[in-house]
Amino acid sequence: MSATDTPASLPAPHTAQRSPWGEVLHSLSRSGTFLTGLFILLFWVVCALFGQHFVPYDPLASDIINALTPPAADHWFGTDQLGRDVFSRVIVGSRDILTVAPLATILATIAGTALGLVIGYFRGIVDDIVSRVLEAFMAIPVVIIALLAIVALGTSKITVIVVIGLSFAPIIARTVRSAVLAERELDYVAAAKLRHEGALHTMFVEILPNVIPPILVETTVRLGYAIFAVATLSFMGFGIQPPSPDWGLSISSNYGMIGGGFWWTVLFDALAIASLVIGVNLVADGVHGAFND
């Protein structure tokens, strides 16, 4: 045994260095895009959670006498045709969309990740068949799938979550698959085979942690689309149901009134949707940037 090649002469690991995740957090904390998006998103999350308690009026209480009053000091955003306070409705209206869209995205991520891991890992015929099916599936617009599903299952939040979740899953699966295809060529996967590890262990314990970054990026991007999809479905009457003060729903029941000059019944809900989508997209951009530089 050698005298100098002892453990003591080997260098200590570089623990002072930031870990890759620390690096990502650090770059997120310095990204204006991400912080702006996060600010907008957090604003709506707070509204969804606590808006109920701080809004000036009950968003559901009608007051026919004061119907359709334009924005003024006592009703900042005016009132709608039932005399309900638009400001209170916009604030509380974030609640359903911020439940349904994230849940749908999480479902899409879980299903898509599992599917992507399997087809990327096994490749071959499984991949060929499943990939074709997914491609065909992705060619159909979400709204059409949703309509068919809702006709079959009836409207409910659960249906909306399942429909949006499953129609986004293939997109996430595609992202995961291409990341897995690159990972499985690395030698640590061969090393796992040389320990007779099962496919499940190799996929979920060995490969999955290394493909988290692209999954996170894709998930935040999908969240933006999910918000948009939920709003669209609600607008069409297939999403969130009355009497919820949901934005899409409100726009759909009031947009006939723009012609009459009652713009405030629609504008603020539309702005709310836009701001939430923009906020999420800014977050997504920031996350993408943090993982890719």
Q: Which residues are at the interface with other proteins (CB under 8 A)?
A: 1-7, 9-15, 17, 19-20, 186-188, 190-191, 193-197, 206, 209-210
Nearer to other proteins, 54 or 188 (CB): 188
Minimum gap (Å) between residue 5 Cβ and other proteins? 6
Alpha helices in the chain (DSSP H): 20-29, 32-54, 86-92, 94-122, 124-139, 142-153, 157-183, 187-193, 199-201, 212-236, 247-254, 264-291
- Tell me how far CA of residue 68 lies from CA of 53, 79, 89, in angstroms: 24, 5, 14
- C-beta of 220: minimal distance to other proteins in Å? 21
Instruction: Give, as one character, the DSSP assignment of residue 65.
Output: G
Exposure of 216 by Cβ count < 10 A (0-12 exposed, 13-18 middle, 19+ buried)? middle
Q: How many CB atoms lie within 10 A of CB 205?
A: 12
Candidates 32, 9, 29, 7; CA nearest to 18 is 29
Closer to other proteins by CB, 170 or 214: give it. 214
Query: 3-class SS at 93?
Result: coil
The values of phi and psi at residue 85, to 5°, are -75, 115
Q: Toward other proteins, which CB reaches closer, 13 or 261? A: 13
| Minimum distance of other proteins from residue 126's CB (angstroms) | 17
Nearest to 246 by CA among 93, 57, 127, 119: 93
Q: In terms of CB distance, is 14 or 53 closer to other proteins?
A: 14
Residue type, 241: Q
Phi, psi at 79, each rounded to 5°: -130, 160
CB of 189 to other proteins, least distance (A): 9
Residue 153 CA, chain-centre distance (Å), reads: 23
Task: Find the shortest distance in angstroms from Cβ 48 to other proteins.
Answer: 34
Taking the least distance from each CB to other proteins, the nearer of 42 and 199 is 199
- Closest approach, Cβ 16 to other proteins, in A, equals 10
- Whichever of 152 and 194 has its CB closer to other proteins, that residue is 194
CB nearer other proteins, residue 12 or residue 73? 12
Q: How far apart are CB 182 and other proteins at their closest, in Å? A: 11
